Structures are given as structure tokens and as C-alpha cells.
Amino acid sequence: MALPKLNTVEYFCKLPVSGIEAKYRPFTVGEQKVLLQALEEDKVKTITHTVINLVESCCGLPDSTMTVRELSNTDLEYLFLQVRIKSVGETSRIVLGCNSECDGQTPVDIDLLSVGVEGEVKSDIVKLTDEVSIRLSVPNFSEVQGMIQDIDNITTSNIFDVLEMSVREIITIDDVIKRNDVTSKELSVFLNEMSTEQFTHMMEWFNDLPKLVKEVEYNCVKCDTENKVRLEGIQNFFV
């Protein structure tokens, strides 16, 4: 005799970076078990891949040709947060250290509903000189995953590779040079020839992109020191 299928409620949300509407469902007991096993292993690469696979199973982008893996990291993190809230609850207990020399470890309950999205996607054109600008785009998860093989040990070279990948056009007074029209070597030379100030303008664009943020205040359980920390990124809300 076949067992009955359990109906699952679907929810909808707007993603903070792309602005795309996503639908999602709570994860199942089996999916939660896999996630807990990944968290117990406490390795960034394992947790990251498990979260992505879970989001891919639980979510969809009905009005977009994009796939979940083509979303930016922030959109993926935001989507996972919504799934986690509907699946397990609105709070997450994490352990935080002390800002003093104390080695105390304090359990803190995080209200996931109060986790905010800070930042904005500004104009995608960054001016380098009066005559030269670059058009940037937020790299998606699949692009970053393919470039960074060991997420536990991200190198300076990895960061520059991601920056290079984010350049879509180089705009001059007379021409618009598409990324596909130049070699990786040519683009690398172009980026390395930027001044420190020009490179800073480029990095400011990335730093201003939306990210999950939560300010947390707590007293250390060992020395009672008042602590205030700023959590950024999904991994900080569940470890």
C-alpha cells in the first residue's frame, strides 16, 4: 500500500541583489539531517556546497531564465535564510567569543527575522579616468565556484581572478570593449596597471553591494564584559 504524499506550502520573496522573485519551500527532515551533518563537520567548503544543494532543491525562480546557482552569493544567502526560518524557526543559537583577553564562549540566540540586508547595487559603471570607465557585474555563485577550488584557503590570486571575471566592458570615449573581445591576459594587464586610487574605486563598488548584516550585543558568560559584534554573511548566523 502506497504511503500518502505530504503537501508542502510554497512561499515567495524578492531577492535583494537581482530583484528577482523566488519561490521556496521548507526543507524536509532528510534535508535537515544532511545540513546538520555538514555543520558538525565544520568545514567551510562542505557547508557551502550543502547549503547550495539544499537551496537548489527547495527553491525556484519561476519568472526568470536564471538558475539558483547563477544567483549572487548574497541572493543565495538571503534565500537560504528564508528557507531556514520557515523550516526550523526564527531563531538560531550561535557561540561567540569575547572581545577582551578572556577566552569565554557565550551562546547567543539570533533573531533571524531581524537580520537585515545592508548596501545597494549602485551604477554598474565605475569611472577610472575622465576618458575610461569599466562596467561591472556581480559574479554568480557558479562562476566563483569554478574559479576558487579551495574555499577554505582563498588566495590573493583568487580575489583578483574574481575581480577580472566581474569586468563586463571597458568604456572609452571612442569605443566600448566587451569582455569577450579581449583575452584574460590582456584584461589582467589592464587591471594591474590601475593606480591604487582607481583600484579602490572598483573595490568600493563591491563593498557597497547588499549583504546580510546583524548587530549583536551580549555579556560574556565568563567575565561579564559587554560585547558588540557585527555579523555578516550567512555562515556567521549558524556557527
Per-residue pLDDT of 79-132, as tens digits, reads 999 999 999 899 999 999 998 888 899 999 999 999 988 888 778 899 999 999
Is the same domain home to 47 and 101? yes
Is the same domain home to 190 and 224? no
In this prediction, residue 1 carries a pLDDT of 64
Domain-located, residue 2: no
Is the same domain home to 67 and 147? no
Residue 136 CB neighbour total at 10 angstroms: 20
Is the same domain home to 99 and 17? yes
Domain-located, residue 3: no
Is the same domain home to 25 and 91? yes
Is the same domain home to 203 and 215? no
For the chain, the average pLDDT equals 85
Is the same domain home to 63 and 179? no
Amino acid at 46: T
Is the same domain home to 219 and 200? no
DSSP 51-114: HHHHHHHHEE-TT-S--GGGS-HHHHHHHHHHHHHHHT-SEEEEEE--SSS----EEEEEEGGG
Is the same domain home to 15 and 69? yes
* Separation CA 56–CA 48 (nearest Å): 12
pLDDT band, residue 197 (cuts 50/70/90): very high
Structural domains in the chain (count):
2
* Separation CA 116–CA 195 (nearest Å): 34
Domain-located, residue 221: yes
Domain-located, residue 5: no
Domain-located, residue 58: yes
- Domain ranges, residue 74: 11-115+211-237
pLDDT band, residue 149 (cuts 50/70/90): low
Is the same domain home to 215 and 111? yes
Of the two residues 75 and 206, the one the predictor is more confident about is 75
Is the same domain home to 34 and 82? yes
61-83: pLDDT as tens digits: 998 888 888 888 889 989 999 99
Domain-located, residue 141: yes
Domain-located, residue 173: yes
Domain-located, residue 120: no
In this prediction, residue 3 carries a pLDDT of 67
What are the angstrom distances between the C-alpha of 11 and each of 17, 82, 124, 190?
19, 9, 31, 45
pLDDT band, residue 21 (cuts 50/70/90): very high
Is the same domain home to 141 and 231? no
Q: Around 102, how many Cα atoms within 13 Å sit in the side-chain half-sphere? A: 17
